[in-house]
Amino acid sequence: MRDTTQTHIVGTPALRKEGIGKVTGGARYIDDMALPGMWHGATVRSNIARGIIKDIRFGAGIAWDEFVIVTAKDIPGENCIPLIVDHDQPVLVESQVNHPEEPVVLLAHPDKARLHEAVAAVEINYEPLPAVFTIEESERQKTIVWGEDNVIKRFLVEKGDVDSAWQRAAHIVTGEYHTGAQEQLYIENNGVIADWSEADGLTIRGSMQCPYYIHKALLRVFDLPAEKVRVIQAETGGAFGGKEDYPSMIAAHAGLLSKKAGRPVKIIYDREEDLAATTKRHPSRTRYRTAVDGNGRLLAMDIQVDLDGGAYATVTPTVLSRATIHAAGPYCCENIRIRSHAWATNLPPHGAFRGFGSPQTIFGIERHMDQIAKAAGISPEEVRRRNFLAPGKTTATGQEIRDVIDLPGMLDRALKVSDYEAKHLRFARENATSSPIKRGIGVASFMHGAGFTGSGERYLNSLVGLEADATGHVTVLVSSTEFGQGTNTMLSQVAAEALGLSCEDISVAQPDTQRVPNSGPTVASRTTMIVGRLVQDAAHALADILRGKNLLGEIFSVTEFRAACAAYTERFGALRAEVRYQAPKDIFWDDVAYKGEAYPAFAWAIYVAEVAVDTRTYSTQVVNFYALQEVGRVINPLLATGQIEGGVAQGIGYALYEKVVWKNGRMSNNQMTNYIMPTAVDVPNIEVYFEEMPCEHGPCGAKGLGELPHDGPAPAILNAIQNATGINFTSIPLLPEDMYLRMAETPEPDAKETAGCV
């Protein structure tokens, strides 16, 4: 296949590859599995935020000799989960606890029902230390909880000359925006089965996004050579980033228990534990100071980005990186400064969640653009139109836009399909009446970089394999995982398209580090663009191998392909092609100055949210939602639409419902009844529109879209609420209680004095 615009399988709603198992109940998630002789494991966790362990007592009433007990002393290798900052996060606490729910002791027992009682019977006594729980407390640097200064990471991006722009400004607009922690809330909790044997080493099966991350971590924890650790992904019930790095921890735990017990051990978290102990989206505070001219054009942006990283670094440096790079939005500005910091606190470490820093700063910039519009006396859509990036313009890091992108055109289409102008007028009219329902419509425009930042993909050095057997059945060999987003189906379509086969002729091998090469983690909206492209290339390479033996012509039919495979395998044995990632020649990135081409490609989007605010209950309903995005090429319209709809629903939760209530560093609302995600009655109709400008990097021109849809909803919704109520809410989640506080700022004097309230 040479012509990227004419496709037969790419671009069709091919059925989900593993769908039959999912609708019959036959799909096997980790808790559906058991190994012979398997025991169950559980974790004893700290109940303070910071302190030194004085002693650990194993209480009366438990037959402790029936249990396998593991502490940090049992770790054969290094007591750390290496990720970006080494020797930071321990597998088990040795002496100092740095966050609530930090793992201290592991227990295993044959009878799962006996574990919770035993966990409760382990008493840990601490000498408490002062702790910090917010960005503000950490940045005061009165209590140092990490490194020298609580700063896990900092970045400085400078473009042009910000400081001299203020005097030329017609308006200087400042704003401060806050986003809260958010739980990924995959419906399948974290779980793993570890199987240790002296002969084979450690085998891990579990719910995960990145088998090779786990593999790498366990080599260190268990001091094993690469061939003695094997990681296999089980069917995974949702992840969204929450199973990017956390599984290394639970795998290490199960592995330690398995090693000591001499038998397989399964650890499955229940919802309360998963909510309280595992990673959340980084809370953020962004500050914008912007100079605009008399036409509302950006002259300068001085931006501060601060994230709460929690107690250990984990993925925080990269989250901060993405937050930083996306902080200036899809706008043209010659003078930009972005100063960003990730602060350590004594909360469980924050981690990856769809968007990975960009929902936080896109919230900031998109809310801020509406304030700029107001100051400049122009409409929100007009201020965007006047400032959009265009081909030839550069981003905050100086990346020149080469996409033939037409953001004003996209804006026009988004406004048209949402009937924006007419609604805007109608709402203004209706809101002036005495009805308690105030309606509003709001816009957000944004971009999302696909793939790892800068030199990240080069560092990942992804490798992909493609095998064909004697019948011509092709197997894709990647470590990229399926967890609902469509990896298996998309890769099958790409491979089938490239070889002129059908999807039924393609299988995707179960990600098993013993079998598949490391195609990198399944994160960063890279799977379609980077890994899909490698699969496409590997398919071409496979055909070239056959051509090299004169078994296949330039163009070939399915029958010819099958015959060629039969002939090749008979004569030469295994038929396999491997392709390694090659960084595009024209991508330049300076990691020190943080300048250059941050991403090989961006997806672009305009989202419109329509809301109804009930001023009696201070609650906001999203009534309609319109999501328009340019993604290069849609490999599978059904799956792609599902990704956008699901991301928008999560964004709605982020804006209006999902609040983590912290008490002394611990999530106190760690039950599904109290951590509120939208139900089918809360999510509105979502209209999804795709535009395609094929990108040279991806398969058939595709870019990434997995995270994009979580970037736009929150600011679009709060912009709509401002349109409805006239109030600039700057913090999410925006709960009715928050809206009430602001809107009832002048309550009846009697109410405050005489209400029988606590």
Q: Residue 181 Cβ, how far from another protein at the closest point, in Å? A: 15
Give whichever of 280 and 341 is closer to another protein, judged by the CB atom. 280
Question: Given the complex with another protein, which of 622 and 720 has the nearer CB atom?
Answer: 622
Cβ-based neighbour number of residue 226 at 10 Å = 11
113 near another protein, rule: CB under 8 A: yes
Question: Binding of another protein at residue 123 (CB under 8 A)?
Answer: no
Report the SS3 class of residue 550: coil
Dig out the tokens for 720 from the structure.
């709509």
List the Cα angle 43/44/49 in 5-degree steps. 120
Q: Does 35 bind another protein (CB under 8 A)?
A: no
The answer to whether 270 contacts another protein (rule: CB under 8 A) is: yes
Of residues 451-470, those binding another protein (CB under 8 A): none
Q: Of 263, 240, 250, which is closest to residue 217 (Cα–Cα)?
A: 250
Residue number, 152 or 612, with CB nearest to another protein: 612
Of 48-107, binders to another protein (CB under 8 A) are 63, 66
Among 111, 148, 554, 570, binds another protein (CB under 8 A): 111
The H-or-E segment that residue 416 falls in is helix 407-417
Residue type (1 letter), 255: G
- Among 106, 99, 98, 102, CA closest to 122: 106
Site string for another protein, 235-264 (x = CB under 8 A): xxxxxx------------------------
Give the whole-angstrom CA distance, residue 160 versus residue 180: 32
Kindly calculate the radius of gyration of the chain based on its CA atoms and give it in whole angstroms: 27
- State in angstroms the smallest separation of the CB of 571 from another protein: 39
Q: Which is nearer to another protein, 210 or 301 (CB)?
A: 210
Q: Which stretch binds another protein (CB under 8 A): 276-284, 592-600, 605-613, 618-626?
A: 618-626
By CB under 8 A, is residue 422 in contact with another protein?
A: no
- Indicate which single residue of 20, 144, 156, 425 sits in contact with another protein (rule: CB under 8 A): 20
Specify the residue, 11 or 532, whose C-beta has the smaller distance to another protein.
Answer: 11
Give yes or no for a contact between 483 and 237, defined as CB atoms under 8 angstroms apart: yes
Q: How far is the CB of 672 from another protein (least distance, A)?
A: 4
Nearer to another protein, 199 or 757 (CB): 757
> Residue 495 Cβ, how far from another protein at the closest point, in Å?
21
- Candidate residues 331, 356, 604, 618; the one interacting with another protein per rule CB under 8 A: 618
For helices 380-387 and 407-417, the axis angle rounded to 10 degrees is 160
Residue 550 Cβ, how far from another protein at the closest point, in Å?
40
Cβ contact 577:465 at 8 Å: yes
Choosing from 52, 144, 156, 187, the residue that interacts with another protein (CB under 8 A) is 187
Among 73, 198, 681, 746, binds another protein (CB under 8 A): 681
- The one segment of 268-276, 323-331, 339-347, 388-396 that binds another protein by CB under 8 A: 268-276
Considering the complex, state which of residue 588 and residue 740 has its C-beta at the smaller distance from another protein: 740
Nearer to another protein, 98 or 481 (CB): 481
CB 126 within 8 A of CB 51: yes
Does 271 bind another protein (CB under 8 A)? Our answer is: yes
Q: Using the rule CB under 8 A, which residue among 133, 146, 155, 186 binds another protein?
A: 186
Q: Which is nearer to another protein, 433 or 754 (CB)?
A: 754
* Residues 622-661, interacting with another protein (CB under 8 A): 634, 637-639, 641-642, 645-650, 657, 661
Q: Which is nearer to another protein, 304 or 619 (CB)?
A: 619
CA distance 318 to 307: 12
Residue span binding another protein (CB under 8 A) among the ranges 11-19, 135-143, 379-387, 562-570: 11-19
Select from 230-238, 254-262, 285-293, 309-317 the region that touches another protein (CB under 8 A). 230-238
Kindly identify the residues of this chain, within the stretch 369-408, that bind another protein according to CB under 8 A. none
The residue written with tokens 């931006």 in the block is 303
Task: Please report how close the Cβ of residue 417 comes to another protein at its closest, in angstroms.
Answer: 8
| Helix/strand/coil percent split, the chain, to 5 | 30, 25, 45
With the C-alpha atoms ordered 30, 35, 40, 43, is the resulting torsion angle positive or negative? negative
Judged by CB under 8 A, the stretch of 145-153, 178-186, 258-266, 439-447 that binds another protein is: 178-186
DSSP string, 58-88: E-TTS-GGGSEEE-GGG-SS-S---SSSTT-
With CB under 8 A as the rule, give the number of residues binding another protein. 100
Output the six-digit token pair for 388.
Answer: 């959009």
354 phi and psi angles, rounded to 5 deg:
-5, 105
Select the residue interacting with another protein from 117, 163, 544, 696 (CB under 8 A).
117
CB of 133 to another protein, least distance (A): 17
How far apart are the C-alpha atoms of 609 and 444, rounded to whole Å? 8
Contact flag: residue 21 with another protein (CB under 8 A) = yes
Buried b / exposed e over 242-276, threshold 16 CB at 10 Å, is bbbbbbbbbbbbbbbbbbbbebbbbbbbeeebbbb
Burial of 395 (C-beta count, 10 Å sphere; 0-12/13-18/19+): buried
- Contact call for residue 673 and another protein (CB under 8 A): yes
| Site for another protein contains 754 (CB under 8 A) | yes
- Contact assessment for residue 290 and residue 332, using Cβ atoms and an 8 Å cutoff: no
Tokens of 149: 């200064």
Q: Which of 689, 706, 711, 719 forms a contact with another protein (CB under 8 A)?
A: 689
Beta strands in 458-551 (DSSP E): 463-468, 474-477, 506-508
Q: Closest CB to another protein among 60 and 680?
A: 680
Nearer to another protein, 89 or 650 (CB): 650
Prior bond of 733 cis (ω within 30°): yes
Are 383 and 346 within 8 A, CB to CB?
Answer: no
Residue 363, class by beta-carbon neighbours within 10 Å (0-12 exposed, 13-18 middle, 19+ buried)? buried
Within 486-525, which residues bind another protein (CB under 8 A)?
486
Name which of residues 293 to 332 contact another protein (CB under 8 A): none
Q: Shortest distance, CB of residue 47 to another protein, whole angstroms?
A: 15
Alpha-carbon gap, residue 18 to 24, rounded angstroms: 11
Least spacing, CB of residue 659 vs another protein, in Å? 10
Q: 461 to each of 196, 448, 519, 527, 581, how far by Cα in Å?
A: 30, 22, 8, 14, 6
CB of 12 to another protein, least distance (A): 8
How far from chain centre, in Å, is Cα 41? 28
Instruction: For the CB of residue 674, give the shortest distance to another protein in the complex, in Å.
Output: 5
Is residue 433 a contact point for another protein (CB under 8 A)? no
Which of the ranges 43-51, 466-474, 560-568, 746-754 carries the binding residues for another protein, by CB under 8 A?
Answer: 746-754
Q: Which residue has the tokens 């793992």?
A: 103
